[in-house]
Structure 1
Amino acid sequence: MTDDIRIETADGIGTVTLDRPKALNALTLPMIRAMAPALAAWEADPAIRAVIVKGAGERAFCAGGDVRAIWEAGRNGRDGSPDHPTRAFFREEYQLNRQIHRYSKPYVALLDGITMGGGVGLSVHGSHRIVTEKTMFAMPETAIGLFPDVGATWFLTRCPDGIGTYLALTGARLKGADVLAADTGAHFVPSAAIPALEAAIRAGTPVDDAVAAHRADPGPGTLAPHLDTIRRCFAHGTIEDILEALSRDGSDFARETRDGLLHRSPTSLRVVLEQMQRGRGLSIEDALVMEYRLVQACMDGHDFFEGIRAVLVDKDHAPKWQPASLDEVGPDLVARHFARPAEGDLSF
């Protein structure tokens, strides 16, 4: 057990509190290993009506997986052990994502703050995703030489209006109303009403009724004025065509989006677009199997470790990607990311 997560049962409700507020509740392997069996036990217990998952502190639900710990474990190479952190973390995280996706009881995730990467995986697969005005939602992996994982292949390919490909490539940050527009959050509840929502569920109100009673209008989002640009530009089948379409658009939004893409890992951009194209229509299981292949290829590569160095370790925000340009990222390199890893595929 770990002190970084609280597992509590009361009033017919199982509650998971991610309790690393100083680290924005970043997810660790011990936290995963505490959460998965608790969810299984609650699912089998007829006395448990629902599960609530939330983050401690005022700032975050969960800012993602503890990728710095993965960087520490893998930056000097790795052995072939299946228990190496670069394998065990992602394997068990993805298995937990699938467990949440298939969960048979109401699963209420309170996204009342920063929700990125691994935090999205703990929330978006649940039956009741609650966003607030404090929600900041993002899949920022291309900035660190990675790709949107935790089942993003499944949920981003189902976003309307090209939003999924836009989010996958750019790592754009969404607020509450935009999360609803992207169909990655199910309900908007004001942050101040979250305690009352929890209390109603604990008092025995059915989850759907409790959410309906506290739901509110999130107001206008920031994405709506740009949906035509997103839909038009991100429908293209190559990164070069997307960049060209953004150049032709001419708007400030398109220019800023294009500039942002040019700072991302070129390998990540090509791999992620291929991921979105291959991922359409996959089951959650097949999506996660593909993502495990991708992440193991990234662990054997350069850009993830360079991206973490630049963003989280040295914080110079000047990664030296290898290859350094899109022209140098050929189809063979992309294809290798989708190959079955030597230790075998993810299983459930």
Structure 2
Amino acid sequence: MSHQPVNSHQPIVFEEWKTADGAMIAVARLNTPKALNSLSLEMIRQLTPQLKRWAEDDNVRAVWIEAEGDRAFCAGGDIVALYRSMTEPQSGSGASEGIAFFTEEYEMDYLIHSFPKPVVCWGHGIVMGGGIGIMAGASHRVVTEASKLAMPESSIGLYPDVAAGWFLNRTPGRTGLFLGLTGARMNAADALFVGLADRFIKHDLKAAVVADLTAHNWQGKDAFAVVGSVLRQHENQSTDALPESPVRTHFDEINRVTDADSLTEMVAQMMELSNGEGWLAKATRPLEAASPTSLALCWQHLRNCRLDSLSEVLDKELTLSKNCLSKGEFVEGVRALLIDKDKQPRWRYASLAEMDSEWIDSFFEN
């Protein structure tokens, strides 16, 4: 089904697709393609109440979340806007807008995870950071031949959040730890392998998927089963386009280099791979420029959350993120990578070996 832009100036467009039995599939379309659909506080404040209304509306059978444009579903949170709110005196908001952003983002993520109806997320193109936060909670997570997923927060002085303490602890072996530390890019097959996606469907079949969902009579049927059946049918038509999974291919090597008694030892083992060729070298190379603080936060956070519930993880992440806003590493990382673009961040510690453990402990304190 093609769509016509509605209120195209809005950062999120809401639509309703009528089904054969007169019910509807509710649609949320992220609509800032020039910014790679990066998630702003305004977008969160529009999407959260709309999701709550759809949850209560008996005529809504399922929710469909997609994005405008072909490049990205969502490249993450709008961290440049956060940076400006914290560093420009005229904004007057200091860290308060950042705290509001993370608080409300995590509430939205939890709402999607616990939504009482099917949520289909069409994760086409770039899906990073806050984009994975939206996608991870959906009941039916679709990736395409163009999907590129990553949690690259260590490059900007942050850490993998948006419930990463929950979903990166549920991946095969130690792949979640590897992906969190390196920010390595995953393709569609990788996302399926590590459990961040459920279905691979070619992007040019999207209109047919929507047509089949709207053609259904949903009355008296299990809505989750209806969605699953339609997606499975189109996945079966897409197998010829599924790429190889580098994470699966290199699974044993990933587990080998993440087998260490300390983070310093682990990162040293991982960085030995960065001098070579191929996917593993490319995946581990960003470790050299990453914030040592971020690496330590990722390592400790995943260890702390192994047995936690989703809500417990998000509570811990809110504490961590508030401290990241106030301690300078995040601001410096965004400055170096996205504002001045000198790619020369002045991290508080130059290496893990120099780092004071009390510094890391302070991030986990309320």
- Give the secondary-structure state (helix, strand or coil) at the position aligned to 1:327: coil
CA distance in 2 between counterparts of 1:78 and 1:322 reads: 27
Which residue is 1:221 aligned to? 245
Which residue is 1:344 aligned to? none
Which of residues 3, 6, 9 in structure 1 aligns to 2:10? 3
Could you tell me whether the CA contact under 8 Å between 1:243 and 1:258 is conserved in 2? no
Matches for 1:95-174 after TM superposition, within 5 Å: 95-174=107-186
Q: Percent identity?
A: 36
Which residue is 2:221 aligned to? none
Which residue is 1:304 aligned to? 330
Matches for 1:241-252 after TM superposition, within 5 Å: 241-246=265-270, 252=277
- Give the secondary-structure state (helix, strand or coil) at the position aligned to 1:122: helix
Could you tell me whether the CA contact under 8 Å between 2:150 and 2:179 is conserved in 1? yes
1:194 counterpart letter in structure 2:
K
Deviates more, 1:246-255 or 1:305-314: 246-255
CA distance in 1 between counterparts of 2:361 and 2:90 reads: 22
1:273 counterpart letter in structure 2:
W
Alpha-carbon deviation of 1:328? Answer: 2.6
- Give the secondary-structure state (helix, strand or coil) at the position aligned to 2:137: coil
CA distance in 1 between counterparts of 2:200 and 2:11 reads: 27
1:166 counterpart letter in structure 2:
F
1:7 counterpart letter in structure 2:
F
Which of residues 67, 71, 74 in structure 2 aligns to 1:55? 67
CA distance in 2 between counterparts of 1:48 and 1:83 reads: 38
CA distance in 1 between counterparts of 2:46 and 2:272 reads: 50
Deviates more, 1:4-13 or 1:237-246: 237-246
CA distance in 1 between counterparts of 2:50 and 2:268 reads: 49
Could you tell me whether the CA contact under 8 Å between 1:139 and 1:168 is conserved in 2? yes
Distance 1:234 1:76, change over 3 A: farther
Which residue is 1:343 aligned to? none
Alpha-carbon deviation of 1:30? Answer: 1.0
Normalising by structure 2, what TM-score?
0.88
1:329 counterpart letter in structure 2:
M
Alpha-carbon deviation of 1:300? Answer: 0.7
Matches for 1:1-348 after TM superposition, within 5 Å: 3-11=10-18, 12-75=24-87, 84-204=96-216, 206-215=226-235, 216-217=238-239, 218-246=242-270, 252=277, 256-340=282-366
Runs of 5+ consecutive residues of structure 2 not aligned to the other structure: 1-6, 19-23, 218-225
Alpha-carbon deviation of 1:274? Answer: 0.2
Runs of 5+ consecutive residues of structure 1 not aligned to the other structure: 341-348
2:40 counterpart letter in structure 1:
T
Q: Deviation string for 1:104-125 (max 9, x for gaps)?
A: 1000000011100011111111
CA distance in 2 between counterparts of 1:88 and 1:246 reads: 36
CA distance in 2 between counterparts of 1:310 and 1:165 reads: 25
1:307 counterpart letter in structure 2:
G
Could you tell me whether the CA contact under 8 Å between 2:123 and 2:141 is conserved in 1? yes
Could you tell me whether the CA contact under 8 Å between 1:27 and 1:62 is conserved in 2? yes
Alpha-carbon deviation of 1:247? Answer: 5.9
Superposed CA RMSD: 2.2
Could you tell me whether the CA contact under 8 Å between 2:85 and 2:93 is conserved in 1? no
Q: Deviation string for 1:142-184 (max 9, x for gaps)?
A: 0000001111111011011211001110000011111111111
Alpha-carbon deviation of 1:246? Answer: 3.2
Distance 1:254 1:121, change over 3 A: closer
1:207 counterpart letter in structure 2:
V
Normalising by structure 1, what TM-score?
0.92
CA distance in 1 between counterparts of 2:141 and 2:208 reads: 16
CA distance in 2 between counterparts of 1:327 and 1:108 reads: 44
Alpha-carbon deviation of 1:76? Answer: 5.6
Distance 1:7 1:258, change over 3 A: closer
Distance 1:203 1:24, change over 3 A: same
CA distance in 1 between counterparts of 2:130 and 2:327 reads: 21
- Give the secondary-structure state (helix, strand or coil) at the position aligned to 1:273: helix
Could you tell me whether the CA contact under 8 Å between 1:247 and 1:254 is conserved in 2? no
CA distance in 2 between counterparts of 1:213 and 1:167 reads: 31
Alpha-carbon deviation of 1:237? Answer: 4.1
CA distance in 2 between counterparts of 1:336 and 1:96 reads: 27
Distance 1:298 1:19, change over 3 A: same
Number of residues paired by the alignment?
Answer: 340
Distance 1:273 1:145, change over 3 A: same
CA distance in 2 between counterparts of 1:116 and 1:299 reads: 20
Q: Deviation string for 1:275-295 (max 9, x for gaps)?
A: 111111211100001111111
Could you tell me whether the CA contact under 8 Å between 1:238 and 1:273 is conserved in 2? no
Alpha-carbon deviation of 1:257? Answer: 4.8
